[in-house]
Structures are given as structure tokens and as C-alpha cells.
Structure 1
Amino acid sequence: MINRLILLLSIFSLSTRLNAQQVNFSEYDLENGLHVILHKDKTAPVVAVSVMYHVGSKDENPERTGFAHFFEHLLFEGSKNIKRGDFMNIVSSNGGQNNANTSQDRTFYYEIFPSNQLELGLWLESERMLHPKIEDIGVKTQREVVKEEKRMRIDNQPYGKFTENIFYHLFRGNPYSWQPIGSMEHLDAATLEEFIAFFNKYYVPNNAVLTIAGDIDLEKTKAMVAKYFNEVPKGKILQRDVVQVKPVVKQIVDTVYDANIQIPAIFAAYRIPGMKNRENKILDMISSILSGGGSSRLSMKMVDEKRTALQVSAFNYTLEDYGVYITLALPNNNTPLDDLLKDIDAEVSRLRTDLISESEFKKLQNKFENDYVSSNSSMIGVAENLSNGYTFHNKNTNYLNQQLEQIRSITPEEIREVAKKYLRNDQRVVLYYLPKK
């Protein structure tokens, strides 16, 4: 009787928590194709204004890589009504903060303001979309900014080029084969006309999602959205085809030398399905089993017990069309890299053959539920998650509210089958990452 009561209370607690985490929103389209998502939350006088453009490095010409990331910088230069260099000053002087980021699949701009500055945020994003400054002086300035970023984040960063090498092998002939930072030679060779053409093609309302989350009045917000975005002209309809890649049928081995490191590393990477595929979420769970914290399998075995690794990790690099599952280790006490790889492979093999325990599975579900709650604990987090649902999940903005149900529906049997299907030695890249003298 007591066990049954505990079970009923647990089910009630879970149900209450799931319902409490439902994110309410409304959405609609402007005539120019701009999709608008509104989330009202009065718990704090804060509002997040964001625009997600469905353009990333995979949309670039192979001879002009780096454009999407370059525009992440260039579109802060100013506009017809904002002087060069004033964009960020306007934000900070009105109590706000702003940023942007670019991936292979999208570019995301946002501002976080006190809620009484909502209109300012909408005006800034409409200026960015309607008539930004794309001029020679801005292009030259941002070229140097991007070059310095590449030097700091990649060229002079320890292990900074491992993704570049992994993606090159796994995606030959596919736009995912290059990284968002792109080629500095391509940016130097590009003309102003090429930059303008790229903007006119991709930074249009019908290729974007405007998401506003926070302390807002819905009707007043809709009126402001119309005021600032109705006049933006609609762009041409984009046709996107997924570029297929040949299957990896045998293990690829490569060696990279890095002058920025003193400790070598070993990487093993597998091509996996994109974010729309349920199996991608299961691979997220496999990452947590292998290296999600100090009590994870790889950490306990290689760092704590055998002390052969300084660091060991497994993670899912999620993309729209495909993904990459990466394992890595740094040796301790001069442990040979091949020994580290054998230990990682042994734990992967155990996942491929044995079901995880009930306690491990429960811990896994709790972690993913808590991660979901954390990801929606800020207004900009909610705005980005709503935008992702519409952009990457067949215009299903409500995907955000379906994730917990999806997490709870995954079974230990599925975890074993997905590991068996994708984490195979004959369809991976092994990368030896060694110090360069």
C-alpha cells in the first residue's frame, strides 16, 4: 500500500511539474512572410527581442566561405538611421544587453531590455533587417575583427582545429565540411557586391523568425511589430536541398600536429542524424551516460579508477541535416593514445550490447528534465527555444513543449539500439592530435 502511494505521489508530482513547465505562446505571419512568436511572462520587468535568420555556413558558396559569420559582425555596423558604431552604445545606454551567434544552420541576434524599452529593441532589429550599412569601410573593419577572432579562437587556441579536421573527413562534398569561421582568403577576395547579394538573398523577413518573450502586452506588441516590420519587403523564396554524403564504410585515421599544445589527444567521431530525428536526442542521452559529470562511466573508469586520462568526454554536435558524435581523451602519466581509445571503445561496446540499469536510466531522465527546465529559465532562453522549434522542426513552434514527453518516452532498449546503429568502428574518423615541435 505504501509503495503504491509513493508511486501515485511520484506520478502526480511529475505531472504537475510537466504542466508547470508548459510555455504558452501565440504566433502569426506578417504579409511579407516574417513569422512572429510572442510569449508573455510578467514575472520580471524584462523583455527579450530576438531574430533568427535561417542562414548559416552551409548556405555559403564553397569559394566564399565565412559569409554567414561575417554578417553576424557586419550587421552591427549601423544602418540608414544608426551611425556606424552606435548600435551597441544605444543598447547599453538604455539598460540593455545584446549579442549574436552563428552556426552552420542559423544566425541569431538578440537584445534584452527593461520591458519599457521593447519598442527600442524592435526598432533596432527592423533597422538591421531593412537597411543596414553594407559599405566598404564596414567590410574592411569587420574583416580585421574576424581575422583576430580566428587567431584567438582557432589558430592560437589549443586543440582549436579538431572540429575542422573531423568535419572535413565526415562531410567531404557537403557544405558542413567547412566551419562557420570560414576562410580569410575567401573574405579578402569577396567584393562588396557579393556581400550585398548574400544579404539580399538570406536576410529577408520570409527567412526569419521574430520572437519576443517577457513582460509584454500582446496587443500593443503586435501593433509595434506591424509598425516596424510591415514595410520590410519580402525576399525571394529559398529552395534548399540537403546535400547527401557518401556513407562511411571503413575507419578513417588521420594525424594532426598543433604547435599550441603540449599534451596530445585522441578523438573518435561518427556521423549521425540531424536534430529532427528522434535518434539524435537518444545520442544526447548516450553522451550523458558516458561523460555527463564525475559519476559518468568514462570519467569514473579513466579519470578516477585507472587514472589514465586527464580529461575524457563524449558529446553530440547537433546540426540540422546531420550531426557528429565525438569522443575524446587527454592522457595522464604518458598513457598511450591507443590505450585511451580502447577504454572508450570498451564503454561504447557495453552500451551497444547491455541495457543500462534502472537506477542509471532514472538518473538520466531526471537530468534531462532538469536541463529542460534550466534552458527555459530565462526569457532569451525561451525565445531561442521557440525560434528553434519553428525554424528546425517543420514550423512546429510547440516542439519546445513536446520535448519532455519525448524524453520520457525514450527506453533503455532504444538507447542500446541507437548505440549499436551509429557508434561503430567501421564508420568513424579517428584523429590523433599531437604536439608540433
Structure 2
Amino acid sequence: MRYKFLITILLSGIFLGSKGQQIKFTEYDLDNGLHVILHQDNTAPVVAVSVMYHVGSKDENPSRTGFAHFFEHLLFEGSENMKRGDFMNIVSSNGGENNASTSQDRTFYYEVFPSNQLELGLWLESERMLHPKIDELGVKTQNEVVKEEKRLRMDNNPYGKFTENIFTHLFQGHPYRWQVIGSMAHLDAAKLDEFIAFFKKYYAPNNAVLTIAGDLDIEKTKTMVAKYFNEIPKGTPVVKGLFELKPVTKQIVDTVYDANIQIPAIFAAYRIPGMKSRDSKVLEMVSTLLSGGGSSRLKMKMVDDKKTALEVAAFNYDLEDYGAYITFALPNNNTSLNDLLIDIDAEIVRLQSDLISESEFKKLQNQMENGYVSANTKMVSVAENLANGYILQDKNTNDLNEQLAHIKSITREEIRDVAKKYLNKDQRVVLYYLPTK
């Protein structure tokens, strides 16, 4: 048992900084436009190597959705110097772990290795960027993998399509209206040259950031980065589309039936500003206040006291251009969905009308600070958060270190005013999510 615990510590790379400690980093650009961020932490012999590309489902052709998520899978197929299927085997046989994720706005790949395998991680990511294997066999193989993922996560998963149905209404006129996994029909119809063109456009060094965090030597790492990434040619600059959406001025109501559920649910979603907005950060605090933990307002009222809800939550789905503030509840004791919505709305109106108490505000700040520390306990998390700052916060890598100051600067008055500005009945989508009859 102790051996397994030590292995877990090595692979995760525990970040031992105290609350509020600044995360130091070095950043620079290669001639081909690749932005490099290095964070040195020698507390454990582990290193995370990551590349974030500024491409997500938002960048897709509306008739070819799902490409960004598809490449999350396809770029594990190998390269000119790596046989098909070898990527995962190389990582695991050298004591590492790896994964990737795609959102509407970015794609993130990483490996976590014992620090003596740093160079291997750099070689793997340079192979992925320089000459990946994109052929008919790989496309066909990953097409089946993506279809199975869609079946598991959406088609056969209880409540798996709630964001699809909400975003269709909330982001009409914006690429956020389709899901990251995209359309299987679009992927089936796509030709190989379309996949190759998508790769050449978005997976170039000048549309990416390489972030390395952990037990490393800064100067030696710079030398290795130059060795593996300098030769990769610069791509054509990516021009992002701009989308201005008209405000939601009338409540939109929809009903969805799901064969995978027995308990109905009710959702209410509001369009809010993107993650760069200060208001988005305030709404993060509103989420914590309403449903962050057992002593939050909604859970105490609806789950503990009135026992009308099995579960209730509010969360801020923050994205680069816009965001969605979503509340939902599952009924208990045959409570009607409308009664659940009335209770949630009452708490929002209370928030819009009255300042929260000083003691509740202090507790809220502590919760947010603890959440910040928890989000940076692993080297791979530090790498991802540094990259997020550069990619999604107007090249502000230091956003990670500024978050606590933002939290502490938010006032009780702002919480009230932001709730009053965005969380109104005539600015939302209400979704009744019901079992199939």
C-alpha cells in the first residue's frame, strides 16, 4: 500500500505551495511562434510536459463539426517515427501517464513523467506537432472510437444531452450552439484532405503554447526545447471569427425526453459574459454561495430543510467568448419541477435584493481560496492553468497568480449587482428534462 501511495505522489507531482504563494515561471517565444512556459518545482522528481492549441469546436465549419475533438484522438495515432499505437505504450513503459481534452476554445495534450524522462516527453509532443500520422486507417479507427464515446457520454448517459439542448437556444448564431463532440454524420462525410487541412491550419507552433512544469533545470530545458521544436515550420496566422449575439430578452422554454432517466430534472440557463470578464469571476462566487457545499443556500433550503430536492446546483460554465450560468434540480417526494424552479428563483431574487452577511462573505472568500489552491495541487494542473492564461486570457500567463487578488477584490455589492444584471427570468432558457413515456 505504501509503495502505491509513493507512486501516486510521483505521478501527480504534489504542489506544496502555501495559500497565496506565487507560481513562478519563465516564458519566451521560439522563432516559429511557439510560446514556451517553464515552471520549476523540485519538490518531487516529476515533470509535466503539455501543449495547448488554440483550437476548439468553436473553430469548426458548421457542416463539419467535431473536428477538434476528433483530433484529440487522432493525434495519438503515431508519427513518421512512431508506429501506430506506440504513443501510449512508450509513455506507460517509461513510468508516465498521458491524456488530452478538448473544449469549445482549446485542445490540451499532456504527459506526466519521472523527471529523468523530460526529453522523452518533449520528443513525443514534437512528433505530434511536426509529422503526425493522418491517414485513412487512423481516421476510420478513431471515427469508431469517437462514436463509442458519444454513445457512452451522451446518447446512453442519464441527462447526457442537457447542454446540447440548452446551448442550441442560448448560443443561436454562435459556434457554441453545437457540442464539442460534434456530429457523427459530419465526421462520416469528411474526406481525408479535409482532416489534413484542419491540422495544417490549427496545429502549428504559432497557434500553440508548450508548458513544462516540475522538476527541471531551466537552462537545460531551454536547450532541449530548441532541439525538438525549432525545426517545426511556422503556420499561417490563425484569424479567429468574431460573433456578436443579440441579448436574450424573452424566456425560452423547451422540453426534452430521455429514455435513460427515471427522475425528471429542471434546468435554467442564462447567457453571461466570457471568462475574461470580471463579471464572470463574480458569478463563480455566486455559484459557490448558492450550491458550493452542504451549507450552501440552495442545498440547505431544498435538500436539508424542505426536502423537496434530491440534488440542486448552480454553476458557471465559462467559455472564451460567452458563458452559461446554469441551475438545475432533481425532485424529491414528488415535488413538481415548477416548485423547484420557484425555490431557486426565490434565492436568486434574495441575492439580487439583499447584501450577503459579512460572515457569509468571509466564508465564501475562504471557499474560493481553497478552490484555487486545490486547482493547483498537481504539476499538470499548474501547466494547464498557466497555458490557459496565455491562450484564453489575452496572453496573460500571470492570470494564475492574479486570481486570488481578483477573488479578494470582489465586493458584496458586486455580487448583488451582477446577479441582478444577468440572472433574470426574461434572459434565460428553461429546460424540462423528462423520462421518455
Shorter-chain TM-score: what band? over 0.9
- What CA distance in whole angstroms lies between the structure 1 residues aligned with 2:162 and 2:370? 30
**Contact 1:18/1:404 (8 A) holds in 2:** no
1:242 CA drift (Å): 2.2
**Contact 1:77/1:133 (8 A) holds in 2:** yes
Residue 144 (1) aligns with residue 144 (2)? yes
Counterpart of 1:311 in 2: which secondary structure?
A: strand
1:350 paired residue number: 350
Q: Deviations over 1:232-252 (max 9, x none)?
A: 000001111321112110100
1:10 paired residue number: none
Which structure 2 residues correspond to residues 214-363 of structure 1 after superposition, within 5 A? 214-363=214-363
Q: Which moved more, 1:114-123 or 1:235-244?
A: 235-244
Counterpart of 2:269 in 1: which secondary structure?
A: strand
**Contact 2:269/2:429 (8 A) holds in 1:** yes
Q: Deviations over 1:190-221 (max 9, x none)?
A: 00000000000000000000000001011110
- What CA distance in whole angstroms lies between the structure 2 residues aligned with 1:18 and 1:299? 28
Counterpart of 2:416 in 1: which secondary structure?
A: helix
- What CA distance in whole angstroms lies between the structure 2 residues aligned with 1:18 and 1:255? 45
Counterpart of 1:241 in 2: which secondary structure?
A: coil
Q: Deviations over 1:310-354 (max 9, x none)?
A: 110100001000000000001001111000000000000000010
1:39 CA drift (Å): 0.4
- What CA distance in whole angstroms lies between the structure 1 residues aligned with 2:18 and 2:132? 44
1:397 CA drift (Å): 0.6
- What CA distance in whole angstroms lies between the structure 2 residues aligned with 1:180 and 1:237? 23
2:78 paired residue number: 78
- What CA distance in whole angstroms lies between the structure 2 residues aligned with 1:157 and 1:234? 41
Listed as ranges, the gaps of 5+ residues in structure 2 are: 1-16
Residue 153 (1) aligns with residue 157 (2)? no
TM superposition outliers: structure 1 runs of 4+ over 3 Å: 16-19
- What CA distance in whole angstroms lies between the structure 1 residues aligned with 2:80 and 2:327? 48
Amino acid at match of 2:400: L
- What CA distance in whole angstroms lies between the structure 1 residues aligned with 2:308 and 2:378? 39
1:389 paired residue number: 389
Counterpart of 1:98 in 2: which secondary structure?
A: strand
RMSD: 0.9
Amino acid at match of 2:193: E
1:208 paired residue number: 208
- What CA distance in whole angstroms lies between the structure 1 residues aligned with 2:289 and 2:393? 26
1:18 CA drift (Å): 5.5
**Contact 2:269/2:430 (8 A) holds in 1:** yes
1:280 CA drift (Å): 0.4
Amino acid at match of 1:209: V
- What CA distance in whole angstroms lies between the structure 1 residues aligned with 2:128 and 2:141? 18
1:50 paired residue number: 50
Counterpart of 2:113 in 1: which secondary structure?
A: strand
Amino acid at match of 1:102: T
1:17 CA drift (Å): 5.5
1:162 CA drift (Å): 0.4
Which structure 2 residues correspond to residues 367-382 of structure 1 after superposition, within 5 A? 367-382=367-382
1:194 paired residue number: 194
% of aligned pairs identical? 78
Describe the shift of the 1:17–1:377 C-alpha distance in structure 2 as closer, same or farther (beyond 3 A). closer
**Contact 1:297/1:347 (8 A) holds in 2:** yes
Amino acid at match of 2:394: N
1:181 paired residue number: 181
Residue 28 (1) aligns with residue 54 (2)? no
Counterpart of 1:380 in 2: which secondary structure?
A: helix
Amino acid at match of 1:36: V
**Contact 2:19/2:373 (8 A) holds in 1:** no
Alignment size in residue pairs: 421
- What CA distance in whole angstroms lies between the structure 2 residues aligned with 1:288 and 1:373? 15
Amino acid at match of 1:325: Y
Listed as ranges, the gaps of 5+ residues in structure 1 are: 1-15
**Contact 1:36/1:210 (8 A) holds in 2:** yes
- What CA distance in whole angstroms lies between the structure 1 residues aligned with 2:74 and 2:18? 43
2:12 paired residue number: none
| TM-score, length basis structure 1 | 0.95
Residue 39 (1) aligns with residue 39 (2)? yes
Which structure 2 residues correspond to residues 52-131 of structure 1 after superposition, within 5 A? 52-131=52-131
Counterpart of 1:389 in 2: which secondary structure?
A: helix
Amino acid at match of 1:189: A
Amino acid at match of 2:111: E
- What CA distance in whole angstroms lies between the structure 1 residues aligned with 2:271 and 2:208? 28
Counterpart of 1:124 in 2: which secondary structure?
A: helix
